[in-house]
């Protein structure tokens, strides 16, 4: 590349979604976000990731907020910036596969309420589980970005990722994201892989990683030099640790180079000043555990994402078996191989981790298999890159005939049934989708919402936008 060609790297800001999801269990409230939006809107971000992932569940469950209301308020505030969400393919934002009619309706409503870019991934990298979402997004004139979950293992060669990228482009995705949820992509590996992907496809390439193993900023540098178009970063107060590299650091890194973002550091400093007290509050209340701010090189040894490690420790604590930690860590790669070597990302990371704990604590492998392990081995989550361990499959599911089609092909349309079931709570079309994903949590929230309305003075209720001051 000649020095004078300008190719500014684009930046997706994650502070309103992945950053607080990774560091403080998705507890940032809408009220905490709104005051800073006007400034964030002036930065010139490629997009702001602000919805999807765990935000939907956490809003309802812990913050007693309507996630759709959050999206509408963010949309009203961001006049110049594209809004982006994370979508788990056929799982939407829940933990099971939903029928196509629910997926299509969810995409339609997400875009109608303000989402521009939908990043779609599947825990097994089974492309069939993404088809419906991509088609629906294109139909609504949204930007469908497909994310490949990046992981290590025999099957995951450069050729594998290149083939995936070509299929993704053919499917009609407008861009491609390499989603490195565990921070496993090393800097020089990024040079080779991004280079190979750039040669293989025409669509823009975005890189998403986490700072967990300590290499992320260096990986971004090499990736951008190799032609990566967009990187995901987080404003410094909620950056690093299990979150993303800091926005300001990457902006400064590329200053004066062909990749210069042109962002205003003084404006970024004002935004950081706004978020810093929120981080300090999270530290004081114990919501932000300083442990997640350090580097955990074990991530590279065991290929286990940070969130999965903390999950593991708490599972072992409950069983008074913390001394078995390393036995479980050694068992994880074995279970992962038995289950067809899936990437470890929600929900496959939880499934593999829990099964490894059972195998170690019960002293016999697969003496007891979880419902989810059975579902994986029955093909209910889709196709894995490598075949299952036949003996393990036989031991766990016996003579059940595993399914080989796209799992959602076996699901009847379910929207009408869901709507009938929750009719008494419906105040807006979107409520049906909220209930579809989390029936119990949604019902609790709807009851809460009703109770709040009963004690609101109608004079101060902003009924037009459905905002009810409590």
- Express each pLDDT in 135-174 by its tens digit: 999 999 999 999 999 999 999 999 999 999 999 999 999 9
Confidence of residue 289 (pLDDT cuts 50, 70, 90): confident
Residue 1 has pLDDT above 80, yes or no: no
Q: Average pLDDT of 276-280?
A: 98
* Beta carbons within 8 Å of 238's beta carbon, 6+ residues apart: 15, 19, 20, 23, 24, 275, 278, 279
Q: Average pLDDT of 440-468?
A: 77
Q: Average pLDDT of 428-453?
A: 97
Confidence of residue 351 (pLDDT cuts 50, 70, 90): very high
The mean pLDDT value of the chain amounts to: 94
Confidence of residue 469 (pLDDT cuts 50, 70, 90): very low
pLDDT value for 299 = 81
- Express each pLDDT in 213-230 by its tens digit: 999 999 999 999 999 999
Q: Average pLDDT of 42-46?
A: 98
pLDDT value for 416 = 98
Confidence of residue 312 (pLDDT cuts 50, 70, 90): confident
Residues 421, 25: Cα–Cα separation, whole Å: 31
pLDDT value for 457 = 63
85-89, 192-196, 302-306: segment of lowest average pLDDT: 302-306
Q: Average pLDDT of 123-142?
A: 97
Residue 443 has pLDDT above 90, yes or no: yes
Residue 185 has pLDDT above 70, yes or no: yes
Closest CA to 127 of 141, 147, 101, 153: 147
Residue 262 has pLDDT above 50, yes or no: yes
Residue 435 has pLDDT above 90, yes or no: yes
* % of the chain surpassing 90 pLDDT: 85
pLDDT value for 82 = 98
CA 196, 199, 200, 201 torsion-angle sign = positive
Domains of the chain, CATH where assigned: 10-290 (3.20.20.70), 304-404 (1.10.472.90)
Residue 40 has pLDDT above 60, yes or no: yes
Confidence of residue 456 (pLDDT cuts 50, 70, 90): low
pLDDT value for 468 = 45
pLDDT value for 134 = 98
- Express each pLDDT in 48-93 by its tens digit: 999 999 999 999 999 999 999 999 999 999 999 999 999 999 999 9
Higher pLDDT, 317 or 180: 180
């Amino acid at each position: 590349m000649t020095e004078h060609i300008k190719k500014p790297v684009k930046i997706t800001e994650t502070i309103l979604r992945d950053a607080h999801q990774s560091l403080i269990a998705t507890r940032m409230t809408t009220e905490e976000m709104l005051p800073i939006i006007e400034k964030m809107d002036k930065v010139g971000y490629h997009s702001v990731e602000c919805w999807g992932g765990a935000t939907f569940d956490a809003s309802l469950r812990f913050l007693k907020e309507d996630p759709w209301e959050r999206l509408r308020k963010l949309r009203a505030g961001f006049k110049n910036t594209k809004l982006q969400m994370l979508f788990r393919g056929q799982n939407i934002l829940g933990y099971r596969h939903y029928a196509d009619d629910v997926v299509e309706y969810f995409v339609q409503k997400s875009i109608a309420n303000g989402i521009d870019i939908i990043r779609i991934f599947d825990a097994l990298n089974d492309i069939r589980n993404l088809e419906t979402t991509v088609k629906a997004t294109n139909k609504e004139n949204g930007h469908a970005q497909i994310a490949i979950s990046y992981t290590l293992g025999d099957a995951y060669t450069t050729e594998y990722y290149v083939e995936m990228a070509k299929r993704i482009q053919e499917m009609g995705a407008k861009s491609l994201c390499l989603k490195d949820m565990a921070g496993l992509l090393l800097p020089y590996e990024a040079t080779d892989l991004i280079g190979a992907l750039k040669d293989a496809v025409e669509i823009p390439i975005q890189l998403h990683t986490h700072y967990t193993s300590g290499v992320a900023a260096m990986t971004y540098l090499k990736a951008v030099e190799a032609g990566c178009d967009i990187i995901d970063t987080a404003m410094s107060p909620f950056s690093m640790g299990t979150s993303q590299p800091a926005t300001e650091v990457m902006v400064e890194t590329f200053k004066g180079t062909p990749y210069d973002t042109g962002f205003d550091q003084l404006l970024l400093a004002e935004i950081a000043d706004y978020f810093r007290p929120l981080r300090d509050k999270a530290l004081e209340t114990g919501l932000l555990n300083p442990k997640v701010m350090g580097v955990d090189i074990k991530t590279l040894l065991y290929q286990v994402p940070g969130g999965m490690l903390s999950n593991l420790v708490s599972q072992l604590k409950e069983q008074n078996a913390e001394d078995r930690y390393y036995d479980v860590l050694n068992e994880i790669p074995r279970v992962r191989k038995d289950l067809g070597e899936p990437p470890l990302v929600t929900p496959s990371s939880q499934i593999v981790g829990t099964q490894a704990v059972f195998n170690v604590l019960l002293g016999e492998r697969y003496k007891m298999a979880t419902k989810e392990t059975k579902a994986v081995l029955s093909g209910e989550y889709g196709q894995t890159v490598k075949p299952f361990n036949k003996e393990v499959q036989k031991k766990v599911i016996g003579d059940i005939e595993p399914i080989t089609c796209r799992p959602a092909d076996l699901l009847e349309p379910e929207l009408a049934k869901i709507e009938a079931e929750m009719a008494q709570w419906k105040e807006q079309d979107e409520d049906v989708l909220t209930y579809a994903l989390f029936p119990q949590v949604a019902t609790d929230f709807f009851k809460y919402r009703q109770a709040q309305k009963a004690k609101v003075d109608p004079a101060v209720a902003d009924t037009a936008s459905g905002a009810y001051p409590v």
